[in-house]
Amino acid sequence: MPLTRVAACHVAPYFLSARKTTDKAISYVQRAAKNSAKLIVFPETYIAAFPVWSALRPPTENHDLFQQMVKESVYADGEEVDALRDTARETKTVISIGISEKSRTSTACLYNSNLIIGITGEILVHHRKLMPTFFEKLTWSPGDGHGLRVADTPYGRIGGLICGENTNPLARYSLMAQSEQIHISSWPPI
């Protein structure tokens, strides 16, 4: 396995601003790449925010926040992700980034997703969290097993799980069985 420098970007997003957060992520990728990082990792739902308000306030007080969350969530094939794909290609890095993902087939269905973007800008893994945990169910829909994949990259076989999934033995095993060499455990930046 090649020696791989990893940059773990445990940084706050611009709260509920997909564009500003994307620009911030791009600046961190560029900075990490200048310091020889080959894999740059961002937190769970870095774009556009983690809905911690659902754990702290009654649901009846969160309607405005949820509407803003829907507005600022991004498409996996949208302009924010395209900008990150371009950056991965330009810097020859692998990027792992959490997004609150909109669905083009729904008006308000969101997913807690993680993307692994390869050095040529392709999305190698598009994983939707299998089951939102606790209060997250107020924001996100359950995903599926399609994203339980390992990306074969020049820097190793990379896989990842989102937050509580890392305590799920079968989810972990599914990646281990694919000869995962680098495991990304993404958690919210709070």
pLDDT band at 190 (very low <50, low <70, confident <90, very high): confident
- Residues of the chain above pLDDT 90, percent: 91
Asked if pLDDT for residue 108 goes beyond 80, the answer is no
Q: What is the mean pLDDT of the chain?
A: 95
Catalytic residue flag (residue 137): no
Asked if pLDDT for residue 1 goes beyond 80, the answer is no
Report pTM: 0.95
Average pLDDT over residues 164-187: 96
Average pLDDT over residues 106-114: 91
Catalytic residue flag (residue 109): no
Catalytic residue flag (residue 72): no
Q: Which of 24, 38, 102, 129 is catalytic?
A: 129
Q: Which of 9, 24, 38, 44 is catalytic?
A: 44
Question: Residue 169: CB partners within 8 Å, gap ≥ 6?
Answer: none
Contact criterion met (CB below 8 Å) for 21 and 50: no
